[in-house]
């Protein structure tokens, strides 16, 4: 799985499948479900730590079967876009930016896929996916497609859950429909350049990482500020290191293992709690044995 995660760590998947079409995906999901074979959906692998012993069951990659962006409707005030879940989030952002559609610039520089961004309600201080999401198409384990409107989704900080009626384990996001405001293309592009410059200035972008490791506490200082104040910038275990540029990033300096990263996370959580009585909650997903 080191080949399929932005951290470049992780042991093997028991099986790794890339369906060619949505129909193939539907047959695969329903077949696995009927046989009670566990599976997980892999987005861009950018918010994921796979343990060194790997992942049991089947890992399904959607980048081939769920690709594409289309304009569904447009008028002088707004445009509705549909983006498939396996599409690159940055491609969607650039698609909107070049046409002067406002609402997605906040996501520029956030790695991963559209489906992953929806599942994690990706965002920054400038905005969230839930701000522009109108509905989601979901494939359930029986092979049926369901459209869930934004109003029925349970939206929270760094998470988005389906309603109880559609919340069966194993649901797969197929696409999202986004509503963006009409804007001036030059102004949207200028804003985009500033956002990308700020991101490059504040965050480590030259070494493998999974973005922010911990969620920000609901009140008080950010996770990065707490880690910095705890004196943990540059803290190293093996080939992993807490970034000197942004304390809430752990980077792979070359030969890190998942165990190195998880050990840093455990130490950071312990020390921050001892110093500030704040329990940091991981933002990354941890998978495997």
* Same domain, yes or no: 155 and 212: no
Measured CA distances, 235 to 20, 59, 87, 264 (Å): 43, 32, 35, 8
* Same domain, yes or no: 55 and 153: no
* Same domain, yes or no: 85 and 177: yes
* Same domain, yes or no: 16 and 107: no
Q: Give the end of a domain, one of 169, 201, 233.
A: 201
Q: Any idea what the CATH number is for the domain that residue 137 is in?
A: 3.30.465.10
Give the per-residue pLDDT at 41.
Answer: 94
Instruction: Decide if 66 contacts 83 (C-beta within 8 A).
Output: no
* Same domain, yes or no: 111 and 208: no
The boundaries of the domain holding residue 138 are: 69-201
* Same domain, yes or no: 149 and 43: no
Catalytic residue among 158, 166, 199, 225: 158
Residue 212 annotated as catalytic: yes
Q: Average pLDDT over the chain, rounded to whole? A: 93
DSSP the chain: -GGGSTT-----EEEEE--SSHHHHHHHHHHHHHTT--EEEE-SSTTEEE-TT-EEEEEEE-TTTS--EEEEEE-SSEEEEEEETTSBHHHHHHHHHHTTEES-GGGTT--SBHHHHHHTT-EETTEEHHHHEEEEEEE-TTS-EEEEEGGGSEEETTEEE--GGG--TT-EEEEEEEEEEE--HHHHHHHHHHHHHHHHHHS--SS-EEEE-BPPPSSSS-HHHHHHHTT-TT-EETTEEE-SS-TTEEEE-SS--HHHHHHHHHHHHHHHHHHH---PPB-SEEE--
- The 10s digit of each residue's pLDDT in 138-159 is 998 888 899 999 999 998 888 8
How is residue 38 written in tokens? 């566990």
Give the per-residue pLDDT at 224.
Answer: 96
Catalytic residue among 65, 66, 93, 212: 212
Q: How many separate domains does the chain show?
A: 3
Q: Any idea what the CATH number is for the domain that residue 29 is in?
A: 3.30.43.10
* Same domain, yes or no: 128 and 248: no
Give the per-residue pLDDT at 166.
Answer: 65
- The 10s digit of each residue's pLDDT in 245-264 is 999 999 999 999 999 999 99
Give the per-residue pLDDT at 167.
Answer: 56
Q: Give the end of a domain, one of 42, 61, 80.
A: 61
Give the per-residue pLDDT at 168.
Answer: 61
Residue 158 annotated as catalytic: yes
Q: Any idea what the CATH number is for the domain that residue 221 is in?
A: 3.90.78.10
* Same domain, yes or no: 56 and 167: no
Catalytic residue among 87, 241, 283, 287: 283
- Which residues of the chain fall below pLDDT 70? 165-169
Q: What percent of the chain has pLDDT over 70?
A: 98
Give the per-residue pLDDT at 202.
Answer: 85
Give the per-residue pLDDT at 158.
Answer: 82
* Same domain, yes or no: 121 and 188: yes
* Same domain, yes or no: 196 and 208: no
* Same domain, yes or no: 55 and 143: no
Instruction: Decide if 47 contacts 283 (C-beta within 8 A).
Output: yes
* Same domain, yes or no: 23 and 93: no
């Amino acid at each position: 799985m080191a080949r399929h995660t932005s951290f470049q760590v992780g042991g093997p998947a028991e099986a790794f499948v890339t369906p060619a079409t949505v129909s193939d995906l539907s047959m695969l999901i329903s077949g696995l479900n009927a046989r009670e074979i566990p599976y997980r959906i892999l987005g861009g692998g950018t918010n994921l730590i796979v343990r060194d012993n790997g992942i049991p069951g089947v890992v399904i990659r959607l980048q081939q079967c769920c690709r594409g962006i289309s304009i569904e409707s447009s008028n002088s005030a707004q445009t509705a876009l549909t983006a498939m879940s396996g599409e690159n989030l940055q491609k969607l952002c650039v698609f909107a930016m070049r046409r002067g559609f406002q609402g997605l610039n906040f996501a520029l520089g956030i790695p991963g896929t559209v489906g992953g961004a929806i599942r994690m309600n990706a965002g920054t201080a400038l905005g969230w996916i839930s701000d522009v999401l109108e509905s989601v198409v979901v494939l359930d384990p029986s092979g049926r497609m369901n459209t869930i409107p934004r109003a029925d989704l349970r939206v929270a900080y760094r998470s988005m859950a389906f309603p109880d009626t559609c919340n069966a384990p194993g649901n797969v996001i197929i696409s999202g429909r986004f509503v963006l405001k009409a804007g001036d293309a030059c102004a949207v592009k200028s804003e985009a350049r500033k956002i990308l410059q700020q991101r490059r200035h504040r965050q480590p972008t030259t070494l493998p990482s999974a973005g922010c490791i911990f969620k920000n506490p609901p009140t008080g200082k950010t996770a990065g500020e707490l880690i910095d104040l705890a004196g943990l910038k540059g803290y190293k275990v093996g080939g992993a290191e807490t970034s000197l540029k942004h304390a809430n990033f752990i980077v792979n300096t070359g030969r890190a293992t998942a165990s190195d990263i998880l050990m840093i996370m455990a130490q950071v959580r312990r020390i921050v709690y001892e110093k500030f009585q704040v329990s940091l909650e991981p933002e990354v997903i941890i998978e495997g044995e």
